[in-house]
């Protein structure tokens, strides 16, 4: 028995084979969440082992190994020629790892880390193939240091329109107090600053919005800390909505039992901290509750699209209490990728804003009072959690937010029209595209 691939999956597999034939050593397949990545990976592994070649499959979390191994088995991959390994383990056992002819890297936006590079350098004669939905690092860097071509076929919008993903409705507040958010050394918001940004207030009544927008539906809630996740589960339970918390340190047997209860709909809400994300296998759900602001586009995409697995008649509900949509746009926003990524901006180019709670005007955090109505924010801190029932979430639709994520550079453009599109998406001055086109020989 082998998988039967959809046409777009077959085209991506063929693009990878053609890339190797054309002399590329490390292509990266860019496929949205829900595109059937495990099917394509297992098909490539099957064709590789069928020729007697060895495959090294790299993951960054042990939970992913069992899932992909099961896909390989179903698709008749010769497992005698496959080694599954966590990067952290393989990098310490390079001399004991059989030399592969192909290295497959899952979630390759992690691939710029030193541990991955050490493996790639040790097996430098092996071909490499990577998979990701977001070929960009948290700091904006592309994957050009580890990949030599990006292979694309369909985007999330196409998958929804053609019945491979469920449509969705997105609800979000206007803004949170982002001036409180601080970055860690990993360029991600710290847990303490998130507490400060939420102001000891659960922004928007989480329970009330769940009951209003997705009452009775299976939901996954993403929190910023174990304490916050546990507290949210307790709150749901206290109000008669069965919920449970899991995290990376939850006993495997207990975690399995909780997920099985969720599968049987005995538990309605699963709360977690970054666990149910990349490749983590959980039963179908329709609702996502986002309570963790992030700077990571990859994390945002993984979490927001978790409830969009296709089911006839289903509409996914995304309840964003922390305004992640303001940073990244809607989950199926069209994004232009590049191996080089985007140029770093200076700190002066980042404008921090806040929103007046009286007239809803948006203004700089440097202003002590709203320049529109003169309202002064009174900051109150208590040790008790409160529910701000006045923070009403609103549906965000196409056209409400215009965020163009274009990570290309001029050299990525193939004609003058693409240069004009790039200039528009970047907000460049008139004449820039014309000048670039002349230098590149398009005119």
pLDDT along the chain (443 residues), means of 10: 91 97 96 92 96 93 81 94 94 95 88 86 96 82 89 96 95 63 63 58 72 94 91 93 91 89 94 72 84 88 92 93 86 88 43 46 55 59 43 74 75 86 81 85 80
> Would you state the pLDDT for residue 170?
93
Q: Where are the domains of the chain?
A: 7-154, 168-342+350-396, 408-440
Chain CA centroid to CA 92, Å: 28
- In angstroms, the Cα distances linking 240 to 68, 221, 234, 245 are 37, 17, 10, 15
DSSP 286: S
Residue 22: Cβ-neighbour burial (10 angstroms; 0-12, 13-18, 19+): exposed
> Would you state the pLDDT for residue 194?
61
CATH tag, 7-154: 3.40.50.300
In 21-160, DSSP assigns E strands to 27-30, 55-59, 82-86, 102-105, 127-132, 149-152
Q: Are 55 and 49 in contact (CB under 8 A)?
A: yes
Place of tokens 């990859």: 298
The reply to whether the predicted model has a pTM over 0.85 is no
Torsion over CA: 342, 346, 348, 350 (sign): positive
Q: Are 130 and 30 in contact (CB under 8 A)?
A: no
Residue 266, both tokens: 């005995």
Domains 7-154 and 168-342+350-396 share a fold: yes
User: CA 116, 119, 125 angle in degrees (round to 5)?
Assistant: 125
Q: Domain 168-342+350-396: give its CATH architecture.
A: 3-Layer(aba) Sandwich (3.40)
> Would you state the pLDDT for residue 25?
97
Whole-angstrom distance, CA of residue 80 vs CA of residue 194: 47
């Amino acid at each position: 028995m082998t998988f039967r691939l959809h046409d777009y999956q077959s085209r991506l597999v063929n693009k990878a084979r053609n890339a190797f034939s054309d002399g590329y050593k490390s292509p990266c397949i860019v496929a949205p969440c829900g595109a059937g990545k495990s099917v394509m990976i297992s098909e490539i592994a099957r064709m590789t082992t069928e020729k007697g070649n060895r495959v090294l499959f790299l993951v960054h979390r042990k939970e992913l190994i069992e899932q992909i191994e099961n896909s390989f088995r179903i698709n008749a991959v010769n497992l005698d020629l496959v080694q599954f390994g966590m990067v952290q383990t393989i990098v310490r056992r390079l001399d004991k790892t059989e030399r592969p002819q192909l290295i497959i890297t899952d979630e390759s936006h992690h691939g710029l880390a030193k541990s991955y590079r050490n493996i790639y350098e040790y097996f430098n004669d092996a071909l490499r193939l990577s998979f990701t939905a977001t070929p960009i690092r948290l700091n904006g860097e592309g994957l050009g240091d580890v990949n030599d071509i990006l292979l694309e076929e369909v985007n999330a919008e196409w998958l929804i329109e053609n019945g491979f993903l469920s449509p969705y409705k997105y609800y979000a507040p206007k803004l949170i107090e982002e001036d409180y958010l601080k970055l860690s050394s990993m360029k991600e918001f710290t847990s303490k600053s998130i507490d400060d940004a939420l102001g000891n207030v659960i922004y928007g009544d989480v329970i009330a919005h769940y009951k209003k927008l997705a009452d009775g539906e299976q939901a996954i809630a993403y929190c910023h800390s174990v304490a916050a996740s546990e507290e949210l589960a307790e709150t749901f339970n206290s109000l008669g909505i069965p919920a449970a918390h899991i995290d990376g340190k939850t006993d495997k047997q207990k975690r399995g039992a909780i997920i099985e209860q969720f599968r049987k709909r005995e538990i309605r809400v699963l709360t977690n901290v970054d666990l149910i994300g990349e490749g983590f296998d959980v039963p179908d759900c329709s609702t996502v509750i986002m309570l963790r602001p992030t700077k990571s586009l990859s994390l945002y995409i993984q979490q927001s699209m978790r409830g969009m697995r296709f089911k006839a008649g289903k509409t996914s509900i995304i309840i964003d209490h922390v305004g992640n949509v303001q940073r990244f746009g809607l989950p199926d926003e069209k994004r232009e990728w590049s191996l080089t990524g985007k140029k770093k901006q200076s700190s002066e180019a980042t404008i921090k804003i806040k929103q007046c709670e009286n007239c809803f005007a948006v203004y700089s955090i440097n202003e002590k009072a709203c320049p529109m109505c003169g309202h002064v924010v009174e900051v109150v801190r208590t040790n008790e959690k409160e529910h701000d029932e006045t923070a009403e979430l609103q549906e965000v639709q196409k056209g409400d937010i215009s965020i163009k994520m274009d990570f290309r550079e001029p050299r990525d453009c193939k004609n003058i029209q693409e240069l004009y599109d790039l200039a528009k998406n970047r907000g460049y001055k008139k004449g820039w595209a014309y000048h670039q086109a002349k230098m590149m020989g398009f005119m």
